[in-house]
Structure 1
Amino acid sequence: MCVRLAVFVAVAAGVCPAVVVQGEEPQVLDKHFRLQQVAAAPDLVTPIGLTFDGRGRLLVIESHTHFPPKDYQGPKSDRIRLLEDKNGDGQIDRFHTFHEGLTAAMSLRAGPDNWIYVATRSRIFRLRDTDGDDTADEEFVLARLETPGQYPHNGLGGLALDGQGNLYFGLGENLGADYSLIGADGTTYRGGGEGGNVYRIGLDGTGLTRIATGFWNPFGMCVDPAGRLFAVGNDPDSQPPCRLVQVAMAGDYGFQFRYGRSGRHPLQAWNGELPGTLPMVAGTGEAPSAVIPYAGALWTGSWGDHRVERFRLAPRGASWTSTLETVVQGDENFRPVDFAEGPDGSLYFTDWVDRSYPVHGKGRLWRLSKTEAKPGAEPADAWPGKTKAELQAAKMMSEPDMAALASDDPFLRQAVVAGLVRQPKLLQQIEGLALPDPRQRIGYLQAVRWQAEEQQTPPAKFTSLLQKALQDPSAEVRLMAVRWIADHSLVAMRGEVEGLLKAGPMTPALFQAVLGALEWLDEAKSGLPRNGEYTHYLEKFLADEKRAPALRVMALRLLPAEHAAVSVPELKKLLDNGSPELRRAAVRLLALSDDPQRMAVLAEQAVDASADEALRADAVFGLGRTADTASELLQQLAREDSAAGREAAIAVRLARREPLQAETKPAPEETDRWLELLADPGDAEAGWRVFFDSRRGGCVNCHRYQGQGSDVGPDLTEVGKRLTPQRLLESILQPSREVAPLFVPWVLATDDGKVRAGLSQGVTADGKSERFIGVDGKPFVLLLESIEVRKPSPLSIMPQGLEKALTLEDLRNLKALFAPAP
């Protein structure tokens, strides 16, 4: 064990928790806190939500209806238990049933006038005890959910009060089933398929309002001391991590259940990738069920990763960002669910204990309290007040400024959208699609769509607006319109959507969105099952010689490697008869192929002196990409004074494992000097070969470019549009300086004595294993019970010291590859 821990320390670069052996108590990894169990089964079983009432007593939901096994011996309904420490010894010694008769009870929060607010799958209601016998005797229903959906924990939940007479709650993705959500005053929202939503309602059940959409399941929410609303929710099947988000009015967080569970459909977003969607604050562990402001940070529990997590907030425009810290780490029998701060300043939380979803008669309650510490040693508890950017955003919600819609800050833009939604007359007066900046036009479309959905206006009434948006010069605006059309199944506009494929230049994101929308609209029209699969559209598109060559190239790149259309014989046909664009794409696919038949085709192209010089160089790259020895052909080509000759010389050097020629290079932190060194223009064509050469930079091991590569890191096809040249260079030279939430790797110590690092790709369907992608870009799977320690790494999964493996010319060429198109 000592040897394994030493290795773990080295891999985690100094961030090392104590190794947790299965069966041991959870380990506290912050010396400022201590953990104590205060209740357990059989006194308290399968606990979920909890809160403190006005007298400082704990109320805890005890679940008995969450998939009860046939032989379950517990109560037939969920109940709310009142817990007290009567003798002051730190242990709960009184257990009393405050309320029972519930089904699929999820959340509890205490409110004013001794009311206790409760969420079950199908109701939001409040209870209180009016005669002092510690049993609820008064009930009032604020909202009810009518739906055929019955899965226990993807309905209503996630309660949070704002102290201003409002209650926030979530509605999960409901497996896409149709629903009606009805407030006590009759206000009704209807939907289905759009994913999870966040709502607000008055404490008297009036004024039901949808606040935000695009979640998987916003199961936990809180309002912080500054009035900000935060939520945590689970992730789709193939799009980890789970998210901590700041919930913005009229915000869209990108997930649409209608397009499938994977989260990877081109009309789904997870971190603000699509126009009009918002990014997360941070990625969390698996299955977070609650979020609470405590001790100067936001805290969550990861049910799936057996830990309590802390997020210290750092400002990012009008919102916030953070990095996960593990405060308590347990073994597979540690399953934290909900949190509440007690009158003594301690953090109390429930523990489901077992990985089994069906109720099982186990359970624990914990208290995390601050230790006695020397003056100044405790973490700062001061909560961040409103930033200047947040105050500006608040002003935009009451006085929307259209100029701010062009801001780089998505949350400032969102505040303007919310302001426009609040002022329908102002929105009607705006010629939104005539605004000069594409982001302004996108924001205008967001506001119009949100208002239309709030007023339940038939989507077909916006046909003329959407037709005009589909003709916008900006691909982002056109994509926004495509999403609106597909989301509302506007089948009558299918022709206009398909017409985009015959129009002007198109980005890969828009191309995929159009095909995804066509698949969705066609299946909506036919009534066939919808599965989000559009490979057959790509195949037809590639085969249609009347289509624009550039778009046929996009289709070719998106086809899976095992598809018949990208086999060596089919690619050879494109080389013999295709347009120059298709011939180039075919050679590049052959260069990246592992099929032995490719070598003869590539050799033929490499020696063809009449062929395009860049095409020849790509063919040479393909010949040398996996060569262990320098072939006679490569050595012969290396004598040429041409792009193909230079590429052959590189292949010969790599095959012989010869070192790079010495070059003077600054330290990675000296960004200004690097910018000067790399100021000369590079060759984007050569940059492509650097990107896909796993023996040089190895970019391809983690990233995609134009449809090819790996999904470990972000797609870099349009990175030049997202990052400045300085920030792009810093991400290469200092990859750990800033790691996006989606790409924080885990360091994993397993019970076989090994330490691994990789990005989580989610739990397998049977719930017993977890999928990862390693630092080499290769997938691996671990049994959940074999993982003794997991820790977010402070280091990026992207290798340090890439500049040592690349020449200055290589770096210039990569810079040219990533530069945005003019």
Structure 2
Amino acid sequence: MIQALRTLSIAVSAVLVSQSLMADDASQSQSTQKWTFTDSDHGWTAYKDCTLDVQDNALQIHSTGKDPHFGRDLKSPAGWKKVKLRVRSTQRLKGEIYWKTQKQNGYSDSLSQKFQTRNNNNNKWQDLAFVFYADSEITGLRIDPASRKGLVEIESISLEDTEAPASASATPVDQIKLLKGFKIELLYSVPTDVQGSWVSMTIDPKGRLIASDQYGALYRITPAKIGSQDNDTKVEKLPVDMGMAHGLLYAFDSLYAVVNGGKERPSGLYRLKDTNGDDQFDDIKFLREIKGAGEHGPHAIILSPDKKSLYIAAGNHTDLPAPEKSVVPQNWDEDLLLPRLWDARGHAAGKLAPGGWICRTDPEGKEFEVVSIGFRNEYDIAFNPEGELFTYDADMEWDVGSPWYRPTRVNHVTSGSEFGWRSGTGKWPDYYPDSLPAIVNIGQGSPTGIVFGTGTKFPAKYQEALFISDWSYGIIYAVHMKPQGASYVATYEKFASATPLPVTDLVVNPVDGAFYFTIGGRKTQSGLYRITYVGDESTAPVEPKPDQLAALRELRRDIEAFHSQQDESIVYSVWPYLGHDDRHIRYAARIALEHQPVEQWQNCVLLEKDPATLINAGIALARNGKPGFKTPLINRLKSLDWKALSQTQKMDLLRLYQLVFIRLGEPTEKERKEVLAQINGAYPAKNSFMNRELSQVLVYLNVPKVIERTLELQDKALTQEEQIHYAKVLSSLTTGWNDDLRKKYFKWYLKSTAHKGGMSFNKFLVNIRAEAIKTLTDAEKETLKSVLEVNLEKAEPIAQGPPRPFVKKWTVDELLNAANTDKVQRSFDRGREMFAAATCFKCHRFAGEGGTIGPDLTGAGGRFNAQNLLESIIEPSKVISDQYASTMFLLDDGRVVNGRVINLHGKNLMVLTDMANPSNLTSVNRDMVEEMLPSKSSMMPTGLVDTLTKEEALDLLAYLRSGGNPDHELFKKKD
């Protein structure tokens, strides 16, 4: 049946081409055109950042290296087209060809194809060809040859009619790994050149799916019946001028579309209706403009649990649509104590709070209300059966390896919540009390569609799961939540995965109880799949279960009800909960307080005696009070006994001091000394995150000896993230230095060349050092000249210290026997040190520290026994986690590429081949792949513990089993 659909697609395309050619005869546009370059009258124009001339029968493009492109207007009939270039350059070109049409008379990414030439040291001519479909007459071509400065030569350019290419298939189901008991079907492979790449879906009342091409139209799909022998899935293009939707929802007898990046139609919220009963949408109403476009623009739209309102999510490049209301106090700011550096490659530079947001609105889009802020790029949102809202937020993968990197994460979106995304180095850690944490960190990835399993004919566990999509790694996870306090914590497992499987959206069809998903995006091959359960477990609808913690969530929701009200009695109602043991209840109470006029409660803060209540109320006052309250608030806070505070209270107090200085004003000299008298003696602390916050506050307050203490911590730091944090903290400090301290500080940058990270990583280090250099005198610059002149981006890596000597080739049995008979009290500190010595921190996150290329190991000790852990360390290829398995690509030019696909665009797969160097990617063109095989070798190297003694290895094992808890029984004295 699929082959029949491909044949039909080609036949339809041929008819379209034939019809286009007949139309062109009337308009006298040319179907075949070729340009050679023998004189200057060639008809092509330099549009930007380049010049054109003709020499030796070739068009010479002299590029300035910014955004060079040239082109020409022309006429060519609609249909399948082939553009051919004969090009030459000594450099490897990464360019793009664009075309414009009568229907879309402007150049955009929706009508373009990228290209890449081979390395060409011999400067030989290379032939490039591009095949595409134009749905109306072509009116122009544009060529972007390269973004680097230099010369590019073109001998000829041609544009001609061609046949439709054989339809490619979406990833076959036999290549998709799926949990036992589930069945997957490929219902439809989308012909990319005609129907684009689908990125969003919804279900209409008849159980049909409606999907949107990222750059094109809407399509309605009637899926084949479950269990049918023939795949008679039907796909129709909807005859309505609407598409480019990142969010679709059928509700209130209407189709809602959140258009992203519209040209003819602005980005925003639209409502489509069928007014004459012919089963087609004939009425389009523009409800609200939402300014934003691209992959961080406006995204999903879903129905509220009470079915009375709509919820819309948008990424951090999207302006708030002039909301009429907000349950988030509208006093958001950057709230950064020390100077921030923008992304080293310019991404989101200048973008300020609130970042990505979620709003709710009525069916007519008349009143928008802000519900939550502080996301990077949450693509989709979903409600659980209890009416709690969740999202899956994106990371900034270029930040990997830096202290401000935050993994992709699942967030519980409560009323008035803030999740702390800030651009560049400004991202808030999740322990800041003025924000909320994730319920689970996933790691690197590219979040897309999410949906709860509610309504599926799945086993109970999966009816209750939140399914989330990772576009770049090709994974659908099942996230399993359990209540914790007034919120949740979660674990996750891989539900479905393949290479490639760029999942874009997920829906549950209430008509057949099946789970549908699409793949596509960025012009990659798109497809529609269906997952059903065929195992032996019951698929009866899940009934609500008794929950001992439901009362806490109910209390939180009762407090949240005050977020949209103002009344003097609310202060008295919420005040007792400002110091509650549960973080989400404390947060809800503070937000309710901030919605009340500050004059009603500001004096209550100064009279409060309970430390937890005082700190949380103080945060509210710092965010809302006038500068005149700075001194009274500091006077009240300085009386708190630091040693009597809990770890959480200490961290919250440090953040409160930051907010006081940021929001209410710099401390006087007297206030500075009083604050120092309270906290200075705590630095350095045993906890690395406590040290991070202490270092910021103490550097800001310019404390004596803070440089010496911070450099000593940097010296001892076991993770590159911690070392970089201290380098950045000290970069803006102008006083307290001497020659020895300056040398020690700047020599660290030479050692930093051994550190690896994402695409922005090296440039960030360069920029941090540049900020520090600005604080130097001319004499200091001269003294440090030999160190300062080293190019950090090109320097050979310098080892952090002497290599550890080889001890022995450990076996699993040897260390397992030693662990089983061990009677010694293990050392937490030495275990952590060995985790670093074995380079585990480079790739793995543990207790909030370390990298994210590999799995987070914090919970490994709770899931695996000592033998499993030792096997994973010593024999990493024995059992390879599907989630982190690599693929072997056999290419038609004889090359073999082994790694994990982490990004896609069109036919190009970006493959990570070295876990220790996440910015080093290899581009693989799918057309060059002869075979893809699962790699039998783990990307994790062997021999990592062979430099450890037996005692050190046992301490490392204990550290892993402890989950990062220094009070674990393994570290207690043994009888």
Aligned to 1:751: 889
Aligned to 1:219: 379
Q: Deviations over 1:306-344 (max 9, x none)?
A: x35131414151313122314252537x55445352622
Q: How many residues align?
A: 645
Kindly tell me: are residues 52 and 34 of structure 1, through their superposed partners in 2, closer, same or farther at Cα, counting changes over 3 Å?
A: same
Aligned to 1:153: 295
Between 1:47-56 and 1:780-789, the stretch displaced more is 780-789
* Counterpart among 309, 317, 327 of residue 174 in structure 1: 317
* Cα drift, residue 140 of structure 1: 5.6
Asked whether 1:129 is paired with 2:274, we answer yes
* Cα drift, residue 370 of structure 1: 2.0
Alignment-mate amino acid for residue 256 of structure 2: Y
Q: Deviations over 1:48-97 (max 9, x none)?
A: 22212223333222343xxxxxxxxxxxxx54344446999653446253
TM-score when normalising by structure 1: 0.60
Q: Deviations over 1:275-326 (max 9, x none)?
A: 7431243527732321112332332333323x35131414151313122314
How many angstroms apart in 2 are the aligned matches of 1:84 and 1:206? 33
Asked whether 1:61 is paired with 2:212, we answer yes
How many angstroms apart in 1 are the aligned matches of 2:389 and 2:812? 54
Asked whether 1:415 is paired with 2:577, we answer no
How many angstroms apart in 2 are the aligned matches of 1:33 and 1:512? 49
Aligned to 2:177: 29
How many angstroms apart in 2 are the aligned matches of 1:791 and 1:401? 58
Q: Deviations over 1:12-33 (max 9, x none)?
A: xxxxxxxxx9975243433521
Q: Secondary structure at the match of 2:556?
A: helix
Aligned to 2:472: 304
Alignment-mate amino acid for residue 494 of structure 2: E
Alignment-mate amino acid for residue 283 of structure 1: I
On the 8 A contact 1:155/1:172 being kept in 2, the answer is: yes
Aligned to 1:477: 652
How many angstroms apart in 1 are the aligned matches of 2:295 and 2:467? 21
How many angstroms apart in 1 are the aligned matches of 2:608 and 2:531? 57
On the 8 A contact 2:218/2:242 being kept in 1, the answer is: no
Alignment-mate amino acid for residue 201 of structure 1: T
Aligned to 1:40: 190
On the 8 A contact 2:200/2:504 being kept in 1, the answer is: no
How many angstroms apart in 2 are the aligned matches of 1:405 and 1:339? 40
Q: Secondary structure at the match of 2:549?
A: helix
Between 1:86-95 and 1:199-208, the stretch displaced more is 86-95
* Cα drift, residue 182 of structure 1: 3.1
Residues 665-676 of structure 1 aligned to structure 2 (within 5 Å):
none
Kindly tell me: are residues 157 and 459 of structure 1, through their superposed partners in 2, closer, same or farther at Cα, counting changes over 3 Å?
A: farther
How many angstroms apart in 1 are the aligned matches of 2:845 and 2:326? 51
Alignment-mate amino acid for residue 214 of structure 1: G
How many angstroms apart in 2 are the aligned matches of 1:421 and 1:293? 28
Between 1:424-433 and 1:28-37, the stretch displaced more is 424-433
Asked whether 1:106 is paired with 2:211, we answer no
On the 8 A contact 1:159/1:222 being kept in 2, the answer is: no
Q: Can you give the 5+ residue segments of structure 2 that lack an aligned partner in the other structure?
A: 1-167, 261-266, 333-351, 400-404, 560-573, 643-648, 731-736, 755-797, 873-880, 968-975
Aligned to 2:448: 289
On the 8 A contact 1:266/1:513 being kept in 2, the answer is: no
On the 8 A contact 1:111/1:117 being kept in 2, the answer is: yes
Q: Which has the larger radius of gyration?
A: 2
Kindly tell me: are residues 367 and 730 of structure 1, through their superposed partners in 2, closer, same or farther at Cα, counting changes over 3 Å?
A: closer
Aligned to 1:600: none
Q: Secondary structure at the match of 1:313?
A: strand
How many angstroms apart in 2 are the aligned matches of 1:220 and 1:661? 46
Alignment-mate amino acid for residue 297 of structure 2: G
* Cα drift, residue 181 of structure 1: 2.9
On the 8 A contact 1:63/1:105 being kept in 2, the answer is: yes
Q: Secondary structure at the match of 2:207?
A: coil
Q: Deviations over 1:225-248 (max 9, x none)?
A: 332222123321324743333322
Asked whether 1:117 is paired with 2:117, we answer no
Q: Secondary structure at the match of 2:212?
A: strand
How many angstroms apart in 1 are the aligned matches of 2:509 and 2:447? 18
* Cα drift, residue 780 of structure 1: 5.8
How many angstroms apart in 2 are the aligned matches of 1:780 and 1:578? 34
Aligned to 2:482: 315
* Cα drift, residue 498 of structure 1: 8.5
Kindly tell me: are residues 319 and 756 of structure 1, through their superposed partners in 2, closer, same or farther at Cα, counting changes over 3 Å?
A: farther
Alignment-mate amino acid for residue 481 of structure 1: L
On the 8 A contact 1:482/1:513 being kept in 2, the answer is: no
* Cα drift, residue 109 of structure 1: 0.9
Kindly tell me: are residues 445 and 397 of structure 1, through their superposed partners in 2, closer, same or farther at Cα, counting changes over 3 Å?
A: farther
On the 8 A contact 1:267/1:513 being kept in 2, the answer is: no
Kindly tell me: are residues 203 and 732 of structure 1, through their superposed partners in 2, closer, same or farther at Cα, counting changes over 3 Å?
A: farther
* Cα drift, residue 703 of structure 1: 7.1
Residues 77-88 of structure 1 aligned to structure 2 (within 5 Å):
78-84=216-222
* Cα drift, residue 593 of structure 1: 11
Higher relative contact order (CA 8 A, sep 6+): 1
* Counterpart among 232, 255, 258 of residue 91 in structure 1: 232
* Cα drift, residue 216 of structure 1: 1.0
Residues 386-785 of structure 1 aligned to structure 2 (within 5 Å):
387-398=547-558, 402=576, 405=579, 407=581, 412-422=582-592, 431=605, 434=608, 436=610, 443-444=616-617, 463=630, 467=634, 471=638, 473=642, 475-481=650-656, 484=659, 490=663, 492-493=665-666, 504=680, 505-506=682-683, 509=689, 512=692, 547=706, 549-554=708-713, 626=802, 654=805, 657=807, 677-679=823-825, 690=834, 693-694=837-838, 734=869, 746-752=884-890, 769-771=910-912, 774=915, 781-783=921-923
Kindly tell me: are residues 118 and 485 of structure 1, through their superposed partners in 2, closer, same or farther at Cα, counting changes over 3 Å?
A: farther
How many angstroms apart in 1 are the aligned matches of 2:518 and 2:587? 39
* Counterpart among 386, 394, 405 of residue 234 in structure 1: 394
Q: Secondary structure at the match of 1:194?
A: coil
How many angstroms apart in 2 are the aligned matches of 1:284 and 1:564? 24
* Aligned sequence identity (%): 14
CA RMSD, aligned part only? 6.2
Kindly tell me: are residues 172 and 430 of structure 1, through their superposed partners in 2, closer, same or farther at Cα, counting changes over 3 Å?
A: farther
On the 8 A contact 2:477/2:494 being kept in 1, the answer is: yes
Kindly tell me: are residues 51 and 728 of structure 1, through their superposed partners in 2, closer, same or farther at Cα, counting changes over 3 Å?
A: closer
TM-score when normalising by structure 2: 0.52
Alignment-mate amino acid for residue 339 of structure 1: V
Aligned to 1:526: none
How many angstroms apart in 1 are the aligned matches of 2:676 and 2:946? 40
Asked whether 1:247 is paired with 2:440, we answer no
Kindly tell me: are residues 241 and 689 of structure 1, through their superposed partners in 2, closer, same or farther at Cα, counting changes over 3 Å?
A: closer
* Counterpart among 330, 338, 341 of residue 509 in structure 2: 341
Kindly tell me: are residues 418 and 351 of structure 1, through their superposed partners in 2, closer, same or farther at Cα, counting changes over 3 Å?
A: same
Kindly tell me: are residues 811 and 56 of structure 1, through their superposed partners in 2, closer, same or farther at Cα, counting changes over 3 Å?
A: closer
Q: Deviations over 1:610-662 (max 9, x none)?
A: xxxxxxxxxxxx999746xxxxxxxxxxxxxxxxxxxxxxx8xx55x469999
* Counterpart among 519, 522, 528 of residue 366 in structure 1: 528
Between 1:79-88 and 1:321-330, the stretch displaced more is 79-88
How many angstroms apart in 2 are the aligned matches of 1:660 and 1:365? 47
Q: Secondary structure at the match of 1:182?
A: coil
Q: Deviations over 1:766-788 (max 9, x none)?
A: 985344763x7998644465898
How many angstroms apart in 2 are the aligned matches of 1:187 and 1:689? 42
On the 8 A contact 1:417/1:446 being kept in 2, the answer is: no
How many angstroms apart in 2 are the aligned matches of 1:703 and 1:342? 40
On the 8 A contact 1:325/1:792 being kept in 2, the answer is: no
How many angstroms apart in 2 are the aligned matches of 1:185 and 1:663? 60
How many angstroms apart in 1 are the aligned matches of 2:811 and 2:442? 42
How many angstroms apart in 2 are the aligned matches of 1:84 and 1:704? 44
How many angstroms apart in 2 are the aligned matches of 1:52 and 1:61? 12
